[in-house]
A = this chain, B = another copy of it.
Amino acid sequence: MDDVKPEAFTATLAFRIGTLGALVTDRLAEKAREHGLKVKHVGVLAALAGSGPMSQLELARLMRVAPSLVVTLADHLETMEAIQRLRDPDDRRRQRLELTETGRALLDECTEAARALDDDLTASLDAEQRATLESLLAAVAAAEGLPA
């Protein structure tokens, strides 16, 4: 007993998900860069597509990010005309962020790129295993209160 395996730490879920997450995010960043975006920009587009228009503060909470960061993300997306920034007439402190057609198209392209990445990642898995993995990760993500 008490025979601790040397690889115990790297065999941990926390370590595996962490390192895999970093790897995957790097690759996703490359693809997003081809469209002039960072990963978080795509996160904004996805949030707006998934939850509809919202204020910057709502978005900040959803993305678990400082409100000041949303400013710069929205700035860039607005410049690209991927989103519209409208003062909420009912509360003129709020900026209502809304996806444009351009933004939707951009998101679709990034989604396509992400799917291609998925295919690559799961190349060693059969269809059933892949579906299982997706389902289990979705469950864990949901339990942690992550979007979608």
Contact = CB atoms under 8 A, between A and B. Distances in A.
Interface in A1-48: 4, 6-25, 27-28, 39, 42-43, 45-47
A114 interface: yes
Contacts of A115: 12
A140 B122 contact: yes
A28 B123 CA distance: 29
A50 B114 contact: no
A13 B140 contact: no
Contacts of A147: 10, 19
B148 A10 contact: yes
B13 A118 contact: yes
